[in-house]
Amino acid sequence: MPRFFVAPSDVSGDTVTLTGENAHHASYSLRLAPGDRIRVCDQRTAYLCEMVSFNGEIATARILSADPIDTEPPFTARLYQALPKGDKLDTVIQKAVECGVTEIIPFESSRCIVRAKPEAETRKTERRCRIAEEAAKQCGRGVIPTVRPTVTFAEALRAAGKADLALFCYEGQDVTPLPVILEMADPVLETARREGRRPEIAIFVGSEGGFSPEEAAAAREAGFAMTGLGKRILRTETASGFVLSCLIYALEL
């Protein structure tokens, strides 16, 4: 069933209004007709709707039922991903969205081969947001994860340090297995739940060359949980999905 994301202001009474790209997609790409059913999410509520009318750049649907969104993980996951080569970041975004990420923040580390270009950053961020939205539609998410503009390693480290649990994925020595870290962090995560909020978990993933010893030392000094991801070395485009899957297994399933 087609899924659309709208703003809360597009929902009024028992009517949902589709405008812009949503209306065009419903009318011309999907060729929906009155009576066809769709799913609509306004980032808070999921609606089952029936198409009613089409008028140029506007389409309307009648709400048949409404339910709270129940497809989101019981935690907020923010992925800090070092810029990889080629189109790998597209894959990272797509799979991370499928695995429940809330926000994706690309950053530059010392071993990144690719560097952000200020003149292209706005265009690339908009494109990455569209990839996240399409992935959210495909996998039945209730919200659209946000993709932020690229930041520096230091900026990412400061932002991630505010999380309840900050994971630094590192293939070096003196790391702790992820299951052990989650067990140790359980009291902190439980405190967040008692406060009526979802625990916030930050995930740091390096580029193809990983992190430098200096970057790992900075993360360790900032209080990050240094974790390895098993006995095999994962590609940068695989690591985030692996970690998110482990979190889903441990905290949701």
Q: What is the mean pLDDT of each run of 10 residues along the chain (253 residues)?
A: 94 96 92 96 94 91 95 96 96 98 97 94 97 95 96 97 96 91 96 96 96 96 94 93 97 93
Q: What residues form DSSP beta bridges with 165?
A: 201
pTM (2 decimals)?
0.91
Domain assignments of the chain as residue spans, ordered by start: 3-68, 76-251
CB 152, CB 107: distance < 8 Å = yes
Strands 200-205 and 76-82: parallel
Q: Determine the pLDDT at residue 195.
A: 96
Which regions of 43-131 does DSSP assign to beta strands (E)? 45-55, 58-68, 76-82, 103-108
3-state secondary structure of 142: coil
Angle, vertex CA 143, rays to CA 30 and CA 69, nearest 5: 100
Q: State the fold for domain 76-251.
A: Alpha/beta knot (3.40.1280)
Question: Are the CB atoms for 241 and 203 separated by under 8 Å?
Answer: no
| Secondary structure (3-state) at 56 | coil
Q: At what angle do helices 178-194 and 236-251 cross, to 10 degrees?
A: 50
Helical pair 118-139 and 88-98, crossing angle rounded to 10 deg: 40
Length, in residues, of the chain: 253
Q: What is the pLDDT of residue 57?
A: 86
Give the Å distances, CA to CA, from 122 to 114, 116, 118, 143: 16, 11, 8, 22
By DSSP bridging, strand 37-41 and strand 15-19 are: unpaired
**Neighbour tally for 1: CB within 10 Å:** 9
> What CATH homologous superfamily does 3-68 map to?
Hypothetical PUA domain-like; domain 1 (2.40.240.20)
CA distance 237 to 132: 15
